[in-house]
Amino acid sequence: MHQGRTTLSKFLIQQLKGAPEQSDLAALLVDIAAAVKAISAMTAKGELGGVLGSLDSINVQGETQKKLDLMSNQAFINTFSTGGLVAGLASEENDDPVEIDPRDGGGRFLALFDPLDGSSNIDVNVSVGSIFSVLRAPEGRAPVITDYLRPGKNQLAAGYAIYGPSTMFVLTVGKGTHGFTLDREVGNFILTHPLLQIPEDTSEFAINASNERFWEPPVQRYVAECKNGSTDVRQRDFNMRWIASMVADIHRILMRGGVFMYPRDTKDPSKEGRLRLMYEANPMSFVVEQAGGIGSTGRRRILDIEPEQIHQRVPVIIGSRNEVERLERYHRDYDSGIDEKYSSPLFQERSLFAS
Ligand code: AHG
Ligand code: MN
Ligand code: MN
């Protein structure tokens, strides 16, 4: 049994042969997988491991940190701090990027990550994940902030782990998106989902509908049409899912299609969106694009955004190609004033966005 299984290491050696940077990147991805295995073991223990619950601390996003947020953060930092592969790191849970002592590191890469995504799910035993993004570090000097603030199209690798009924590791180095499943007894990630392809069409959408009154009219229009289903322009019924972990929602979309939205809204006008560009939107967009989908703000490709801050937030509309393109069209129609219907009394909020 299990003859000819492709382990993560074997797969990476094959995908990343050639220049020294390539084999270093393979080594880094194997290191990230090791941190993921440690986090998988911690999350699986649940209450028995004393890992549930919150701490008194608040992170730079103004969010209360959970124990597992910090334990996962430490697992990644420990991994990146040794081995000579990483010159600096940036995490959701650290206010500023952290330089790795060149005596330990001096590596070729910068690692950016969301150590635990979907934190509100921890205490209720629902899927959570980790997200990572790898950029090239500057040569011959310590990294500075502008080295991190590169558009997502410069990522060398990106991916996520999902801690669900099984633990999976999904990654891209720009040669397609591939999924691995953790064989817990042996401790290996095995290639189970090579060359993932997101179906272009879907009848499933994911959005936190409690924010509906804060959305812009193009998103209200899209969701209204989905909800009207076969009685309206879409001519078919839609289904909705919301797990409150971007990783879990996007994993579902990679498996069977769909569109995930955390769009721009007016709930907190000081924030462009809910999700963070550098360690949520960029890596997930890279993974999704490499699987044939699209990552957009509704108005532009996420991977083209010139970042301004490490913890910057962006609107996110991501998933099946034809649905994201439809949402982009609705944004264009709205911005150019073509969309007469949705400036009607049904969506009086429009005037809020007209300036
Ligand atoms: P994190 O736990 O890393 O802060 O991220 C949670 C994010 C994202 O994963 C999820 O889609 C979204 O927040 C959920 O937001 P709501 O609480 O508004 O549903
Ligand atoms: Mn997150
Ligand atoms: Mn997080």
Angle of CA points 51, 52, 53, to nearest 5°:
125
Q: How far is the CA of 67 from the centre of ligand 2 (A)?
A: 15
Beta bridge partners of 61: none
Nearest CA to ligand 1 atom 15: 244
Residues 82 and 175 in one domain: yes
For residue 178, the model assigns a pLDDT of 98
Which atom of ligand 1 has the smallest separation from the CA of 247? 9
User: What pLDDT score does 42 carry?
Assistant: 95
The reply to whether ligand 1 has any atom less than 6 angstroms from the CB of 126 is no
Is 339 within the bounds of a domain?
A: yes
Token code pair at residue 320: 């099946």
What total number of domains does the chain contain?
2
- Residue that is last in its domain, among 134, 166, 193: 193
Longest dimension (CA), the chain: 65
Domain encompassing residue 245 = 204-349
Q: What is the pLDDT of residue 346?
A: 45
Tell me, using a 6 A CB cutoff, whether residue 265 lines ligand 1: no
pLDDT tens-digit readout, 248-301: 999 999 999 999 999 999 988 888 899 999 999 999 999 999 999 999 999 999
Ramachandran bin of 105, using left for φ above 0, alpha for ψ from -120 to 50, beta for the remaining angles: alpha
| pLDDT attached to residue 341 | 64
Half-sphere exposure of 113 (CA within 13 A, CB side): 32
Strand (E) positions, 52-97? Answer: 54-58, 64-66, 86-91
DSSP H/E element including 276: strand 275-276
One domain for residues 216 and 117:
no
Per-residue pLDDT of the chain (355 residues; tens, 9 = 90+): 456 799 999 999 999 998 889 999 999 999 999 999 999 999 999 999 887 888 777 877 777 788 899 999 999 999 999 889 999 999 999 999 999 987 755 799 999 999 999 999 999 999 999 999 999 999 989 999 999 999 999 999 999 999 999 999 999 999 999 999 999 999 999 999 999 999 999 999 999 999 999 999 999 999 999 999 999 999 999 999 999 999 999 999 999 999 999 999 998 888 889 999 999 999 999 999 999 999 999 999 999 999 999 999 999 999 999 999 999 999 999 999 887 666 544 444 444 554 3
Task: State how far the alpha carbon of 311 is from the alpha carbons of 90, 92, 169, 196, in Å.
Answer: 9, 7, 24, 29
Are 189 and 46 in the same domain?
yes
> Does residue 218 belong to any structural domain of this protein?
yes
Regarding whether 29 and 118 lie in a shared domain, the answer is yes
CATH of the domain at 70: 3.30.540.10
Q: What are phi and psi of 181, to 5 degrees?
A: -115, 135
Q: Which ligand is nearest to the CA of 63?
A: 1
pLDDT at 51: 79
Write out the DSSP string of 127-155: -EEEEEEEEEPPSSS---HHHH---GGG-
- Shared domain for 186 and 217, answered yes or no, is no
CATH of the domain at 276: 3.40.190.80
Q: For residue 82, which phi and psi values (nearest 5 degrees)?
A: -125, 160
- Minimum-distance ligand 1 atom for the alpha carbon of 211: 18
- Shared domain for 122 and 26, answered yes or no, is yes
In angstroms, what is the span from residue 137 Cα to ligand 3's centroid? Answer: 23
Contact 284, 295 (CB under 8 A): yes
Q: What is the pLDDT of residue 343?
A: 54
**CA 69 to mean position of chain CA atoms:** 16
- Tokens 């694009």, residue? 289
- Of 193, 216, 235, the position where a domain reaches its end is 193
From residue 289, alpha-carbon distances to 262, 292, 296 in Å are 18, 5, 10
Which region, left, alpha or beta, applies to residue 83 given φ > 0 means left and ψ of -120 to 50 means alpha? left
- Supply the pLDDT for residue 4: 79
Mutational pocket test of ligand 1: of 126, 245, 260, 277, the residue with most ligand atoms within 8 Å of the beta carbon? 245
Contact status, residue 202 vs residue 257, Cβ threshold 8 Å: yes
Distance from C-alpha of 330 to C-alpha of 259, rounded to nearest angstrom: 15
Q: Give the contacts of 1 (CB within 8 A, at least 6 positions apart).
A: none
Amino acid at 140: G
Cβ atoms of residues 139 and 172 within 8 Å: no
Pair (120, 70) in one structural domain? yes
User: Which ligand places an atom closest to the C-alpha of 72?
Assistant: 3
Instruction: Indicate the residue among 193, 214, 246 that finishes a domain.
Output: 193
Q: What are the structure tokens assigned to 319, written together?
A: 């998933």
